[in-house]
Amino acid sequence: MTVPPPVLTMTGLRKAYGTVQAVSDGRLTARAGEVMALLGANGAGKSTMMNLLGGLVSPDAGQIGIAGQAVSFAGPTDAIRAGIAFVQQELSVFGSMTVAENVFAGAFPTRAGRIDRAAMQSQARALLAQLGATIDVGRPVDGLSTGDRQMVEIARALRARPRILIFDEPTSSLSGREKALLHTAIRDLKAQGVAIIYISHFISDVFDICDRITVMRNGETVAERLASQTDQAEVVRLMLGEIGAAGRIVPDDAVPGPVALRVVGLTAPPRIREASFDLHRGEILGIWGLLGAGRTELVRGLLGLDGPVAGRIELHGPNGLAPVPPRDLRAVTAFVTEDRRGEGLLLPFSVSDNIALPNLDALSQGGVVQRGRVRELALRLIRTLSIKVSGPAQRVGTLSGGNQQKVVLAKWLAGAPTILILDEPTRGLDLAAKDDILRLAVDLAGQGVAVLLISSELEELMRVSHRYLIVRERCVAGTLPGHATEAELIAALSAPVAVQVPA
């Protein structure tokens, strides 16, 4: 097979946002009639590369070439004119408008100043046929399945006859059958000579549909492989890079206490599928999975934060394990969310008021908040966690990230939780602060608290986990013991089975 010349080349791209170097050496090529996967962990620079390609931001350095011609985009319109189109991750359709209207939204065909409905409908039908989809173009989009909506979205992208079509996380909300249809449509487009860039966290999908794989890490393109000449394990390794020798904070063989929480068949499609696991007292259970695998969805579903879930949650109580609703679980769980500023804290409030908020019942007498007790509690926790503040009255919004995160922990510690859930607790913190937070988690586990820890950094996870819960493609794939090696953990992300299933 002869390799066609690339229709798109991006070389030596650099882009910084303020002091953050989002992309430092971005390279990729896309060829007509080929599906190229762009992979990378969180923060690898994929989104920035796509924003550069879409003309949303301009590069600090480097070149973008389309069919051998260097181009520079002043805005999205230039990119569209150059033949670039995106199928958005969010299904951004207008629900009450018809399929045809959605396909042509923003560029209705007109005749004598009026919308030419007949032309619009026949063209929409033709575009959908190109995807192998048969959808009544006169129907409102509201009544369509997620998969059909996606087809409408693709048809809209095809309207401008793009040479390069980018799919950003196209399968994250699709069922298995819909995914298969999507992949058929992508193969059809490929056969029609469109260059396709496919971004996904689902590695098995990538191997199902893609010809070539480009891997980015920390803002750099680190590898390009033909899909036929690599495997899932190598790709995951490339995405994550070398992981520094992990200095464990705790031994990996702690004897686990009794089961504190048992989860059986937790399901909330499409976010969580059939998740089952045990969490023991005194253990740190590291949730290991790629971004988008459903780690956050799992813990939020457990706490009932994103709507109803099916399945059973059992909590250890005076009479042993007993089923409880998520609300009861929330009452004994400290939850450090991944969105510290948006959900973890009330930024305009003082340190002491933030600490007091979840503990108002204990701090009030006859409904009246006891200010003395609030202050006392805040001072005690500021001391225990060595939070650097001018005093309990300092506004939380003015603290550094590490100290803010300590305030989040402080507000939960006052209530002596039996379960602690940490979702990316060290994101955006400096090394010393990261260490502080991890040590706190270890101390709490030592006191018998059952800890669930989510982290995108394997190194961090390996420093503290007694056991690993492998999360893959929205379900719990199994567990690995605390002494699992880095290679085993990485393999667990891609291997079809190969992990222990909890007894």
Residues that bind another protein (CB under 8 A): 305, 330-331, 335, 337, 339-350, 353, 356-358, 360-361, 363-364, 367-369, 371, 393, 395, 397, 411
Q: Which has the closest alpha carbon to 293: 200, 218, 191, 412?
A: 200
> Residue 415 Cβ, how far from another protein at the closest point, in Å?
9
* Choice between 98 and 404, CB closer to another protein: 404
**Which tokens belong to 409?**
């922990």
* Choice between 184 and 370, CB closer to another protein: 370
> Residue 363 Cβ, how far from another protein at the closest point, in Å?
8
> Residue 364 Cβ, how far from another protein at the closest point, in Å?
4
Instruction: Supply the DSSP string of 298-364, one letter for each residue.
Output: HHHHHTTTTS--EEEEEEEETTEEEE--HHHHHHHEEEE-S-IIIII--TTSBHHHHHHGGGHHHHE
> Residue 408 Cβ, how far from another protein at the closest point, in Å?
10
Residue 439 CB neighbours (<10 A)? 14
Q: Which has the closest alpha carbon to 203: 477, 485, 478, 486?
A: 477
CA distance 265 to 333: 20
Q: Which has the closest alpha carbon to 421: 292, 307, 263?
A: 263
Query: In this structure, which amino acid lies at residue 228?
Result: S
* Choice between 364 and 384, CB closer to another protein: 364
CA distance 13 to 61: 5
* Choice between 82 and 345, CB closer to another protein: 345
SS3 216: strand
* Choice between 41 and 195, CB closer to another protein: 41
Question: Under a CB-based contact definition with an 8 Å cutoff, are residues 285 and 451 in contact?
Answer: yes
* Choice between 397 and 446, CB closer to another protein: 397
* Choice between 107 and 346, CB closer to another protein: 346
* Choice between 187 and 373, CB closer to another protein: 373
> Residue 279 Cβ, how far from another protein at the closest point, in Å?
20
> Residue 15 Cβ, how far from another protein at the closest point, in Å?
15
> Residue 434 Cβ, how far from another protein at the closest point, in Å?
18
CA distance 170 to 193: 20
Element holding 415 (H helix, E strand): none
* Choice between 86 and 335, CB closer to another protein: 335
* Choice between 80 and 305, CB closer to another protein: 305
Q: Which has the closest alpha carbon to 38: 295, 242, 210?
A: 210
> Residue 349 Cβ, how far from another protein at the closest point, in Å?
5
SS3 446: helix
> Residue 283 Cβ, how far from another protein at the closest point, in Å?
24
> Residue 76 Cβ, how far from another protein at the closest point, in Å?
19
CA distance 357 to 167: 43
* Choice between 340 and 466, CB closer to another protein: 340
Question: Under a CB-based contact definition with an 8 Å cutoff, are residues 222 and 241 in contact?
Answer: yes
Q: Which residues contact 60 (CB under 8 A, 6 or more apart)?
A: 14, 15, 16
Torsional sign, CA 432, 493, 277, 338: positive
Rounded to 10°, the helix 401-413/431-446 angle is: 10
> Residue 499 Cβ, how far from another protein at the closest point, in Å?
31
